[in-house]
Amino acid sequence: MVSGFCQVNYKAQREVMVQTQLIDRDISDIATLNAMRKVLRHEFVPEKIRNMAYADRALSIGFDQTISQPYMVAAMTQELNLKPDSKVLEIGTGSGYQAAVLAEIIDSVYTIEIVEPLWKQAKERLKRLGYDAVSVKLGDGYHGWPENAPFDAIIVTAGAESIPNALIEQLKEGGRLIIPIGPHNGVRQLVRVVKKNGKINITEIMPVRFVPFTRKNEH
Ligand code: SAH
């Protein structure tokens, strides 16, 4: 049938993405790989670039923002070291894709977006796709989400110049924060911050490029 012939096989594209972009690199966490197999990434990109949804790159989602490269989403998810009952905070909802990947692994996902139209779109999209349990808030993630703290893990998907104190405070003992840190417009380091005995331990993971972390009153 012609319609069947024209049907794009996104499932096959996802499987190729998981094999060539994730497993063939260094992603081995089974929960992360399964989540990447499940989430319909093409639903999270603008309709006119759906054919590129599973490409090995970040894609524009409007408002000068991007949906991260699949590898980056998987690498950051793997770094969070999630357990089924982990409670996670994401800063930078964007398209909602990373939040959906997290929601495939755990029940408690909280995410904050600063750009109102993106917040609205992501909130509606996550609901439509069945990720009703994800709490999506409009606001400046610099302050974290104190009402729902503490978190087992926090993931920041925008590049910051320094580590926001509020995020460290809202981490549980033994919890970890994954965040790209470095100069504005430059190459940043993805770092893992682990909180132990009230102290923090910072480890560099890899150099990365991310859209900047913005602040409400920045002009
Ligand atoms: N995780 C997203 C990609 C994020 S791009 C996805 O899966 O699609 C980074 C996002 O962080 C952008 O949407 C940007 O608007 C948002 N952002 C930047 N600064 C922020 C801040 N201070 N608080 C909350 N969100 C912020």
Q: Given ligand 1 and candidates 45, 93, 101, which is best to mutate, with the most ligand atoms within 8 Å of its CB?
A: 93
- Taking CA atoms only, the protein residue closest to ligand 1 atom 11 is 92
User: pLDDT at position 179, please?
Assistant: 98
Is pLDDT above 70 for 218?
A: no
At 149-197, the pLDDT tens digits run 999 999 999 999 999 999 999 999 999 999 999 988 788 999 999 999 9
For the domain made up of 2-218, give the CATH fold: Rossmann fold (3.40.50)
- How far, in Å, is the centroid of ligand 1 from the Cα of 3? 37
Active site residue 68: yes
For 158-166, which contacts have Cβ atoms below 8 Å and span 24 or more sequence positions?
158/91, 158/92, 158/210, 158/211, 158/212, 158/213, 158/214, 159/184, 159/188, 159/208, 159/209, 159/210, 159/211, 159/212, 159/213, 160/213, 161/213, 163/191, 163/193, 163/202, 166/142
Which residue's C-alpha comes closest to atom 16 of ligand 1? 92
